[in-house]
Chains A and B, each alone.
Chain A
Amino acid sequence: MTDASLVVTDLRVEFSGFVAVGGVSFDAHPGEVRFLIGPNGAGKTTCIDAITGLTKGTGSARLGEKELLGRQVHKIVRLGVGRTFQTASVFDELTVLQNLDIAAGRHRPAISLLRARRGVDPAIERALEETGLAGELTTPAGILSHGQKQWLEIAMLLVQDAKVLLLDEPVAGMSQDERTATGELLQRIAAKRIVLVVEHDMDFMRRYATRVTVLHQGRVLSQGTVAEVQADPRVQEVYLGTADAMTEG
């Protein structure tokens, strides 16, 4: 069950003629921190959007035996696929505990919604411990720092018991210390889960990636370990080469 892998095959996404993702294939397995990198407009976030049902894609994205494409967003989530967004989106007016409680709610029977919460779910306590938010239980999420909001989002995925965590630029805007803490957190939680990170930050990628997929203009440019990818001349060209490639949006 926990060994199920995320296998994406020939994923294509078109926006009224414009091909945002043109046949991307990759796979991600439990136990590794998988990075999806590439210049702006490479189609990284669109890949995640398609996998989570936010935009329509063709091809295939399977979690174990189950096909994800074509299902409704909340049904895909119920199969164990969780994601975060580039801008941290937590429920600002609810406390950290309330945020997590809602995330944990999908495992409860619907009728329990009518009762008030008593005590803290053990899963929530574990997630708070894991993400270092234990002291912020009753803080409204809106006044958390930027980094803490991102951690709260990750904590929400943990209590949600997601098997696949798709993280869209989790360290954008974070301080160096926060990046380190986040990277270590990702490595810990990846032990039993599939963690797929979309990132711009090359330094962060180098430090924490197990394997990397480089996207460029909607296609897979290179795939492999950090060292392999860095040695790939095509990657060097896209990232270091001509100014055109850098500014392409």
Chain B
Amino acid sequence: MTKKPWISLGGIGVFAVLLLAVAPLVLSDHWLNNLGKYCCWAIAAVGIGLAWGRGGMLVMGQGVFFALGAYSMAMHLTLESAGDRVPGFMVLYDPLAPLPAFWEPFRGAGFTLLAIVLLPVVVAGILGYALFKRRVKGAYFAILTQALAVALATLISSTIRETGGDTGLSDFKYFFGFVLNDPANKIMVFLIAAGLLVVCLLVVWQLYRSRFGELLVATRDAEERVRFLGYDPANVKLVAFVVSALMASIGGAMFVPIVGIITPAEIGAAASILMIAGVAFGGRASLFGPALGAMAVGWGQSSLGSTWPDGWTYILGLLFIVVILFLPNGLSSLPARFAAARRRPEQKAAPSAATPELEEVRS
């Protein structure tokens, strides 16, 4: 029991070596870029694992926070590429269009980085405070967050002059002074994304082994009881929700220079659900499950999704059903299940310490 965290830490170490040292050596530029994209989704997924797997909050609208990071970064890169001129898509409709006021501060690199960190914290902080203090939970919480993702995607779609609408923002030439087309710089961008993923894993590793992690699981399973121990569960959930929003924002921010385009489709309801799917697939309450699940779904999307676009959606759907039916705790619960089955073949497996309550989702 006291040893397990250190094994996990070793796992993160191995993962870091594979991602940061081995992958750039063995993968082609194309696949390295793809892997970078999966890392961005995985960063958001790690946050979902924290909020949903450990905290019981089904965050169906992480696209909102993904968008905050992504659009902050995209606005900065667009301005950097445009230089002193107004970005191309704005002059398309009106040659004399001024730069919208909210774009102006994103010229600064420092402001942009600050916005990527602070915007999701402030938005999730206010939203979470309002919802958790009013004890909004379960399906209501899930639907509300989902609706926000839809609303934000619609807002961006409809403000084509200010945000690029459905076409999104693209054609970034520079990344904080580095030429994005340069292969060496592409590797650097990948390494930043992969490094951030490792950092996020380390953060949740510490959170899970800390007292806060125990309190979060307690809050997930018996919120009222936690209240009767003198804690305000709203605050516990708020912290997990804000951290998960921050991670989604970081994932979104790195998504932009790696993929080269951000559109409302990447942050809307479908995209938000795809992030959840990866987490459920990998195992929402485990340390590695969400990240690996999100990377697997990302890989499936770009390999199977491009060769067999019609079939991929069905495969994903089928996979989702099979996992929910037979492995409610995701693929990462397989080793524990095997171990339990071998130790006591005649008995039913005891609930593992990381089994989340399904009630929250069903209620």
Contact = CB atoms under 8 A, between A and B. Distances in A.
Interface string A92-110: 1111001101110110100
Contacts of B351: 92-93, 140, 142
B147 interface: no
A102 B214 contact: yes
Contact of A89 (B5, B209, B222, B231): B222
Contacts of A101: 211, 214
A93 B353 contact: yes
Nearest to A162: B230
Interface stretch (A112-120, A180-188, A228-236): A112-120
B264 to A, nearest CB: 36
A103 B229 contact: yes
B232 A102 contact: no
A140 B350 contact: yes
Nearest to B225: A89
A29 B359 CA distance: 40
Interface stretch (A36-44, A74-82, A123-131): A74-82
Contacts of B210: 113-116
B60 to A, nearest CB: 24
Contacts of A90: 222, 225
A143 interface: yes
Given A102-B218, A143-B350, A116 B228 contact: no
B221 A74 contact: no
B218 A106 contact: no
Interface residues of A, number: 36
A106 B217 contact: no
A151 to B, nearest CB: 16
Contacts of B228: 52, 73-74, 77, 82-83
Given A105-B231, A106-B230, A160-B230, A93 B209 contact: no
B230 A77 contact: yes
A124 B355 CA distance: 26
Interface in A122-152: 138, 140, 142-143
B75 to A, nearest CB: 33
B85 interface: no
Interface string B199-240: 000000011011110110110011011111111100000000
B214 A98 contact: yes
B53 to A, nearest CB: 12
Given A91-B221, A140-B351, A116 B227 contact: no
A229 to B, nearest CB: 29
Contacts of B222: 89-91
B211 A93 contact: no
Contacts of B1: 95, 138
Contacts of A95: 1, 353
A163 to B, nearest CB: 13
Contact of A113 (B215, B227, B232): B215
Contacts of B353: 93-95, 140
From A114, A116, A138, residue with most partner B Cβ within 10 Å: A116
B211 A92 contact: no
Contact of B229 (A77, A138, A140): A77
A106 B211 CA distance: 12
A85 B227 CA distance: 13
A106 B228 CA distance: 11
A117 B229 contact: no
A156 B229 contact: yes
B218 A94 contact: yes
A72 B355 CA distance: 31
Nearest to A98: B214
A74 B217 contact: no
A91 B232 contact: no
Nearest to B239: A113
Contacts of A115: 210-211
A105 B215 contact: yes
Nearest to A140: B353
A142 B212 CA distance: 20
B231 A74 contact: yes
Nearest to A77: B230
Interface string B340-361: 0000000000111111000000
A160 B230 CA distance: 9
A91 B227 contact: no
Contact of B212 (A52, A83, A91, A113): A113
Given A94-B214, A138-B1, A106 B231 contact: yes
Nearest to B206: A114
Interface string B5-28: 100000000000000000000000
A74 B215 contact: no
Contacts of A73: 227-228
Nearest to B232: A74
Nearest to A156: B229
Interface string B178-214: 0000000000000000000000000000110111101
15 contacts: A72-B232, A73-B227, A74-B228, A77-B229, A93-B217, A93-B221, A93-B351, A98-B214, A101-B211, A103-B229, A113-B212, A116-B206, A117-B214, A138-B1, A140-B351
Interface of B: 1, 5, 206-207, 209-212, 214-215, 217-218, 221-222, 224-232, 350-355
Given A93-B352, A114-B211, 19 more contacts: A73-B227, A74-B228, A74-B231, A77-B229, A78-B230, A90-B225, A91-B218, A93-B353, A98-B214, A98-B218, A99-B218, A102-B214, A102-B226, A103-B229, A115-B210, A116-B211, A117-B214, A140-B353, A160-B230
